[in-house]
Amino acid sequence: MTDTVNEPSLQQQLIFCLQKTLDPLTPHAERAGFYQKIEDFKETNPRCIECGFQLARQEGSPEIRHFGLQLLDHSVKYRWKALSASDHHEFKQQVLQFLAGVRTAEQEALYVKESMARLTVEVAKRMWPQFWESFLADLDVLSRCGPAQVQIVLMILRRLKEDLLGFDNTLTNQRRREMNTALNDQMEGVFTFLVNNVQAPQIPCLRQTALSALTSYVEGVEWRLLLTNEGRLIQLLCALLGHDSDVQVEVSECLLNILARKGEPKRTSSEREKLVSALLSKDALSTIIGAAENVLDVANDEQQYIFLKRVCQILVHLGTSQLAPLWNTIVNFARPENFNRYLLAVLGFTKHHSQVLALTAADVWSTFLAHTFIREDGVFLAMLPQVLTVLRQKLMRVGDPSLSNHPSCVYNKLDFDSLEEYNYFFSKYRSCLHGLVHHIAVLMPSTVANEVLTAVREAVCVPTDSACTKMSDAYYLWEGLASFIEPWAGSLRAIDSPKESVKDQGMAVIQQLLSYETQDPLILSSLLRCLQGCLNVFLQFSTELIFPCLNKILFFVVFTGGATDKHHLGKDVSLVRHMATSALLHVCESHTLLLQPHLGALYAQYKIFADCDLLQYAEKSAFVECFMVLSRPLAMSEQGVLIADLLQEAKRLVSDSLHQAASSVEGLVAFLGLHLEPTSPMYPFGAQAKLTYVAHTVQVVVKRSVMTPPPSSDLHSNPSWVHVEPLLHQYTLPLVRSLHQLYADTTRPLLSQYFQKLNELHSMQRDGVIGCLHRKRDSENDELGNSQLGLACVHEHCIQTLHLVLEVYPVQSLIDIGFVRELSSAIFSEPMVTSNLMIKTILHISPCVGGSWDSVVIPLLCRAGWMAYNMVSIEIRRIVASCSREWSNNIGGGDEEEVREEVFHQQLAVYMSKEYIHLLEVACLVSPDGSVGKPRQPAEGCGDVMMVEENQAQDMASSQPYSSSFVLSSFATRMVQDQDNLRLLLISAFKGLTWNDSSISLKCTNIAFALLDKTTLDPGVYEQLFYQVITGLQKHGMYDNNRDQLLNVGMKLYQLAVSVNMCAAKAMGSI
């Protein structure tokens, strides 16, 4: 298309290109070529505006008219500044003439009219009010030309308000303020025009358009306009809501915007009171409730379901956004006359089978329960027992959208696109309901206790199916009951006073649970949850129940579910045993003094289980922790005897085979059978469980050996040390070293072909890094996956044990005997081959132990820091190399596996860098007043997610330049006295400025500024640091907060460079 072609031919070419792009038979390559021709015409041809008007006026298909409007819209957006003032005026006049000649409302396509409105608003955003003062007056004149023009004016007003509210981010704050001021000056006339077209439209279709425009305005207009003429608008909307089904959704959205208005309640209390009185009047409330009742069963009509959601939101905002603030503001506020009916309506939505509606309605109960005055109102309190009964039913885990066994399933299929999305929602849904039960239990403890007792009595009377599944009614009942009891028990633990008043009901609940007999593991797991919550609160009131409760729990510990071998238990049975040991530990922690006299009997029962080989290794470790908790009141000599007996099996395993296995990587490979195929008859199934048992047992013994007050500097003042020390030297330390060596490339020849990928992360760990829900794959039920997860678990147990050793035992004594040196040597062996996720665990080995900075903390932190920094750098270089390859090969993507791998490495780099920088932040920074801890961060420019508003950036720019809200901690000040340590911090902080995550870069500016403020650098270092700051500005300079902080660091560098007589200009020039 060129200018030399005459005009009719040019239009025909444009129409031909448009038709080809819309033709489904046009090949993809040709369609792309026609699109390119159209884009070239828009960008370069000076006749774009002229052709646009001619095509838009042309009698023909709406597609051609719409295309002409697109050409005009493009010219306004991208060529407006190239036009003269007279061209602007002429363009505006042609637009108005064009709008005045539009066809009737029924004949013109809706999307064409939307394009007309969009074009007019784009012109107005560039001319009004300075160069088009009569804009609103011109719209008023235009609206008198006919219904079609009225509809277009309504669309213009709606789009104008939406863009001013923030839909158009190209508008500057100044232009937005100017246009808002001009609009507000004439708002009364605009609002009257909108309301009149809602009340008495010239043609039916105008009402829907008018309501859409009105919805955009009601949120920001003055209250007096909403309530003028004794609330005529509210009455009109309520009448339409109940009687005009064609616009019910639009009316509900308009009412919702009115009720969701924020603002200072004291300044608008009189207007809010009028609004609440109007909507809580008998007629209005009846209309709203009647409209909802007409569409209550809308499972097969998505549009009516949307309307039902809007009605629910109207009632919710009426209570939470209007009534509650008003009740709190006005002194001696009189309860609304129809308050009880309003609560019943909200209760009806809470009962609804749609869980989304129930969660929405829960906001009302949550707000009122936290309200100072409403929570004491008699009508509200009388409603709570009914609410509680509904909550008990709603806590059942029903409604899976992949099933059809409950009415909620139908609604959840409409609300959620996947099972993962529903599961995320349900966790939030249940958490909200738990909060309501908790609040009601604090407010009315006896009522909730009676409801719990009633629920338990009903549950124990329901027969259990012979083969209960997670879709059985009995499972739904018991699992929901456990979810109901847990927040009740939690509320009683949080507050002391109600326990005495409800102890009778609590004891009755425990007795009912103890009397219930079943062999179904699914029911037993829920029963254990119920029993654990009650025992933690009520066991102290009855010593007679101690033995029955312990016997019940111990029965569950060795529950087999009909299996003949403890090594072949089902998943549900294993869960019951795990929950039983967890319940036993919680009871021991909650009632240590109560159960301590029974320590001997409990230990005797444990020995019986162990001698009869009824316990797995995980259960033995749990028992060890229970006995360590109960042994706290014992004398040191008695504790020593007990610990020796508890560690007897662990010592035997170490001396028999584990010491040899842990001492070298070859021994570890042979012990675990990693040189064999799992199908080999020689493969040692269960060997890994022994490693885990000993590692976990040593950890819990050290963890529970904390003495209050702390012991003297003598290691032997703690009775556990003499028994733990041999295991640490013979097992834990060598095992950590061997595990690190296991991931080295030099070890791969020792592994069989099946275990060659042992050093890779398990799919569950990878999904955790990426941040997506893990879905178990069939291929994960293998020994490779079990070994990957199992060895990671063993490693974490060992590292946590060494961490606890530094906290529990006197550090100076550990230094004197050389233990810290051995610990450092073991942890940081083979640092470059350690699995990436192990670094997070290793970083925890750097606790700030008072008085041992120079000898323990600083050396450990520096070695862990270098390891973490190198790992992050490797991942970043891998990402850069991958992107470079794609760029050079002009590749837009790859297969799904390649893309997933690239995303994983990107997220792994972010994950590791956040962990590392957070460690440096906590260790090195304090607030100026000296308080230790993570400094308060300003709003972060986190990638594409958060942008700082212009006025916030201006406020920040006007603050004191080159200053920081934190300084180096005394620990960091001591640390930077060593040049190697200073080098680590400088490299980490300044290289971190250039990493891709803007939140990490922002944190690094804090560390960098604090380092520059307290350290003296060689002149040759400044040029390198300048380079990192400038690179950081290139990557993150588009975010206001990052840019300001980076400029602060850069100016601080400049000042320091000048102070050492370095030529800053020369340095910048070389950069």
Residue 326's φ and ψ, nearest 5 degrees, are -65, -45
CA-wise closest residue to 734 among 838, 835, 662: 662
Cβ atoms of 559 and 597 within 8 Å: the answer is: no
Cβ atoms of 55 and 15 within 8 Å: the answer is: yes
Amino acid in position 274 = K
Cβ atoms of 299 and 410 within 8 Å: the answer is: yes
pLDDT along the chain (1071 residues), means of 10: 52 90 91 92 90 83 91 92 92 91 78 93 93 93 91 94 84 89 93 90 85 91 87 90 85 92 75 89 90 78 88 94 88 88 95 94 95 93 95 94 91 90 93 95 92 94 78 91 94 73 90 91 93 88 86 92 80 92 92 90 94 92 95 90 95 93 93 91 89 96 83 81 95 92 86 88 74 59 83 90 88 87 80 51 51 66 76 73 57 60 77 82 74 41 31 37 67 84 88 88 90 80 87 88 89 80 55 50
Helices (H) and strands (E) in the chain, counts: 54, 2
Name the helix (H) or strand (E) containing 410: helix 407-415
Amino acid in position 638 = E
Q: Which residue has the tokens 């209050």?
A: 708
Q: Which residue has the tokens 């690179």?
A: 1031
What's the length of the chain? 1071
Q: Positive or negative, the Cα torsion across 541, 546, 548, 553?
A: positive
CA distance 723 to 256: 68
CA-wise closest residue to 272 among 260, 284, 290: 260
Cβ atoms of 717 and 808 within 8 Å: the answer is: no
DSSP state of 762: P
Number of C-beta neighbours around residue 81 at 10 A: 6
Q: Which residue has the tokens 């008198």?
A: 144
Cβ atoms of 384 and 447 within 8 Å: the answer is: yes
CA-wise closest residue to 763 among 744, 786, 746: 786
Residue 937's pLDDT is what? 39
Amino acid in position 368 = F
End-to-end CA distance of the chain: 47
CA distance 901 to 670: 32
Cβ atoms of 75 and 113 within 8 Å: the answer is: no
Residue 925's φ and ψ, nearest 5 degrees, are -115, 140
Beta bridge partners of 932: 926
Helices (H), 925-1039: 950-957, 970-975, 979-992, 998-1014, 1019-1036
Structure confidence by residue, pLDDT tens digits, 275-309: 999 999 999 999 999 988 888 776 677 888 999 99
Cβ atoms of 532 and 587 within 8 Å: the answer is: yes
CA-wise closest residue to 787 among 761, 753, 768: 761
Helices (H), 260-397: 269-279, 282-293, 302-317, 324-329, 339-351, 355-369, 378-394
CA distance 352 to 736: 56
Q: What is the dihedral of CA 140, 143, 149, 151, to 10 degrees?
A: 90
Residue 254's pLDDT is what? 93
Beta bridge partners of 926: 932, 967
CA distance 928 to 969: 9
CA angle 247, 250, 254 (to 5 degrees): 135
CA distance 1038 to 1043: 7
CA distance 193 to 176: 23
Contacting residues for 421 by C-beta, under 8 A, at least 6 apart: none
Contacting residues for 69 by C-beta, under 8 A, at least 6 apart: 52, 56, 112, 115, 116, 118, 119
Residue 292's pLDDT is what? 87
Helices (H), 895-948: 896-924
Name the helix (H) or strand (E) containing 143: helix 135-143
Q: Positive or negative, the Cα torsion across 785, 791, 792, 794?
A: positive
Cβ atoms of 376 and 363 within 8 Å: the answer is: no
Number of C-beta neighbours around residue 353 at 10 A: 19
Residue 3's pLDDT is what? 42
Q: What is the dihedral of CA 149, 154, 159, 162, to 10 degrees?
A: 170
CA-wise closest residue to 873 among 722, 732, 744, 991: 991
Residue 324's pLDDT is what? 92
Amino acid in position 129 = P
Q: Which residues of 34-45 are buried (b: 16+ CB within 10 A; e: fewer)?
A: beebbeebbeeb
Reduced 3-state DSSP string for 506-540: HHHHHHHHHHCCCCCHHHHHHHHHHHHHHHHHHHH
Residue 135's pLDDT is what? 94
Number of C-beta neighbours around residue 225 at 10 A: 16
CA-wise closest residue to 126 among 193, 80, 62: 80
Interhelix angle for 228-243 vs 282-293, to 10°?
20
CA distance 238 to 690: 71
Q: What does pTM read for this prediction?
A: 0.81
Residue 671's pLDDT is what? 94
Residue 727's pLDDT is what? 96
DSSP state of 465: P
Q: Please, is 32 exposed, middle or buried when counting C-beta atoms within 10 Å of its C-beta (0-12, 13-18, 19+)?
A: exposed
